[in-house]
Chain A
Amino acid sequence: MPSVKDLRERIRSLKNTQQITKAMKQVAAAKIRRAEQAQKEARPYADTLSEMLRDLMASVGSVDHPFMKPGNANAPHGVILMTADKGLAGAFNSNIIRAGELFVKANPQVAWYTVGNKARNFVRRSGHADRPAWALNAPSKIEAAREVAYRVTDDFVSGAISNITLISPKLISMLSQKPETRTLVPIARQAQSDADATRVESGEARGAKGAVEFAPSPEAVLSRLLPKYLEFTIFSAMLETDAAFFAAQLLAMNNATDNAGKLIDELTIQMNNARQAAITKELLEIVGGAEALVNG
């Protein structure tokens, strides 16, 4: 049985750990508020961009943009793997990386692009040291998103990759984040046919309102809007990764603090028992010694 002194040491070190996890929990709680705020502030832009895209798709007949055409079928899949830069958030990063591994199992030919240091480390470890990587926690996320978008666009247009797929965490609730895999480019036929349907429906209303003027032409505006849409999708995925990471960290640190508390309680009882046992033993010795004196 460990001595009282050993137990006291362990309790003290656990209390220190608990203090750290409690502090990290509070920091995560503050940061998640900021991350959610950033997401909220991006919403007006997202809504307006989608609306413009819908209007444009409805006005444009055939679209001659590389993003709307199938890519080079013989090229590897272009996959943007997005994780956090840091750990200490439970299985958050490993869940995303597992989604990446599953993707590779289904499609062995993959060209990686990584956002977040954990994703970068995974890709390096799996033997692709030279793949482009960006940190999630960039000074300007919009700049970083633009760089990522430029790079994948160039590779897609030049035929180095057959599509652009994004694997990033989705914040379902504060308690649940799941990796999500979606193809960004080429833009799905579904979106296009949805737009076609809108065109048919709103055709009359639009006719009454008068045709929308485009400068220079609907096709030209669309060919600028599609890359912007990709950029913004990557940007908002980065914001969501941030928020999801802090939510996961909050939960992980909450659990760690609770576990440390439980352990401290257990060890305190053990320590009290040990101390009581020592006192009892000492008393017995004194009583035993006194009796020996009387009897002697």
Chain B
Amino acid sequence: MAHTIPFKLITPTKVAFEGDAELVIAVTTEGEEGILPSHAPFLAALKPGVLRANVQIEGKTERLELATREGFMQALPGRLTVLVDEALRFDDVDVQAAKDERDGALERQKTATGEQFAREQATLDFANAKLRLTGHT
């Protein structure tokens, strides 16, 4: 049996996943970061993106993929926690809405500056993550 770590994916409205993970790959502000069990204590800020994980469900390894909004990832000895604003599975994504969000954010970025631009970038990244998850790029 593969080495695993208890993994929790938490949003303000629900615990999106709770179980044992063999590997979790998330998009941090510094780029993609893969976490294996017994990773050193670690805390990173996450960008909106596609979070991928190999998790164990009833003894079998399964692939978990979710589009996540910005948040944080914390690895502690014996547990791994990802905290994000929103986490959507394939079936939860409204493709048309995501496309509209992407176009809207691109449009508003033309006039936005500074902090506003960064916020629109987050909206844009999340919309793109949703589209990538569902295979619409």
Q: Using CB atoms and an 8 Å cutoff, list the residues of chain A in contact with chain B.
A: 38, 41-42, 44-45, 48-49, 52, 55-56, 142, 146, 150, 154, 157, 209-216, 218, 220-221, 224-225, 228, 232, 235-236
Q: Which of B8-16, B48-56, B59-67, B128-136 is found at the contact surface with chain A?
A: B8-16
Q: How far is the CB of B125 from chain A (nearest CB, A)?
A: 14
Evaluate contact between A215 and B83: CB separation under 8 angstroms.
no
Query: Which residues of B19-48 are within 8 A (CB) of A?
Result: 28-30, 33, 40-45
Q: How far is the CB of B47 from chain A (nearest CB, A)?
A: 10
Evaluate contact between A224 and B12: CB separation under 8 angstroms.
no
Evaluate contact between A52 and B12: CB separation under 8 angstroms.
no
- Nearest CB to that of A38 among chain B residues? B13
Q: How far is the CB of B19 from chain A (nearest CB, A)?
A: 14
Could you list 20 further interchain pairs (A-B, Cβ under 8 angstroms) beyond the known A150-B119, A210-B40?
A38-B13, A41-B14, A44-B8, A48-B74, A52-B83, A55-B74, A142-B86, A212-B43, A213-B40, A213-B43, A214-B44, A215-B44, A215-B45, A218-B43, A220-B29, A224-B45, A224-B70, A224-B72, A225-B45, A228-B71
Evaluate contact between A49 and B115: CB separation under 8 angstroms.
no
Evaluate contact between B44 and A142: CB separation under 8 angstroms.
no
Picked from B28, B41, B81, the residue with its CB within 8 Å of the CB of A212 is B41
Evaluate contact between B10 and A215: CB separation under 8 angstroms.
no
| A55 surroundings in chain B (CB, below 8 A) | 43, 74
A48-B81, A232-B12 as given contacts; A210 in contact with B41, CB under 8 Å: yes
Evaluate contact between B41 and A221: CB separation under 8 angstroms.
no
Cα of A243 to Cα of B42 in the assembled complex, Å: 36
Nearest first, the 5 closest Cβ-Cβ pairs linking A and B are A215-B44, A212-B41, A224-B45, A213-B42, A45-B12
Q: Cβ of B77 < 8 Å from any Cβ of A?
A: yes
Q: How far is the CB of B38 from chain A (nearest CB, A)?
A: 12
Chain B interface residue number, banded: 20 to 34
Picked from B8, B14, B28, B70, the residue with its CB within 8 Å of the CB of A215 is B28
Evaluate contact between A48 and B12: CB separation under 8 angstroms.
no
* B14, B41, B81 — most chain A CB neighbours (10 Å): B41
Evaluate contact between A221 and B43: CB separation under 8 angstroms.
yes
| A212 surroundings in chain B (CB, below 8 A) | 41-43
| A211 surroundings in chain B (CB, below 8 A) | 41
Evaluate contact between A48 and B83: CB separation under 8 angstroms.
yes
* B8, B30, B77, B83 — most chain A CB neighbours (10 Å): B83
A-contact bits for B110-137, CB 8 A (1 contact / 0 none): 0000010001000000000000000000
| A225 surroundings in chain B (CB, below 8 A) | 45, 72
Q: Cβ of B100 < 8 Å from any Cβ of A?
A: no
Evaluate contact between B42 and A142: CB separation under 8 angstroms.
no
Evaluate contact between B43 and A214: CB separation under 8 angstroms.
yes
Cα of A268 to Cα of B10 in the assembled complex, Å: 58
Evaluate contact between B43 and A216: CB separation under 8 angstroms.
no
Evaluate contact between A45 and B11: CB separation under 8 angstroms.
yes
- Nearest CB to that of A232 among chain B residues? B12
Q: How far is the CB of A52 from chain B (nearest CB, A)?
A: 6
Evaluate contact between A44 and B10: CB separation under 8 angstroms.
yes
- Nearest CB to that of B44 among chain A residues? A215
Q: Cβ of B92 < 8 Å from any Cβ of A?
A: no
Evaluate contact between B85 and A142: CB separation under 8 angstroms.
yes
Evaluate contact between A154 and B115: CB separation under 8 angstroms.
yes
Picked from A154, A213, A235, the residue with its CB within 8 Å of the CB of B12 is A235
Cα of A232 to Cα of B115 in the assembled complex, Å: 19
Cα of A225 to Cα of B30 in the assembled complex, Å: 16
22 A-B pairs with C-beta separation under 8 A: A38-B13, A41-B15, A48-B74, A48-B81, A52-B43, A55-B43, A56-B43, A157-B115, A210-B40, A210-B41, A211-B41, A213-B43, A214-B42, A214-B44, A215-B33, A215-B44, A216-B29, A218-B43, A221-B44, A221-B45, A225-B45, A232-B12
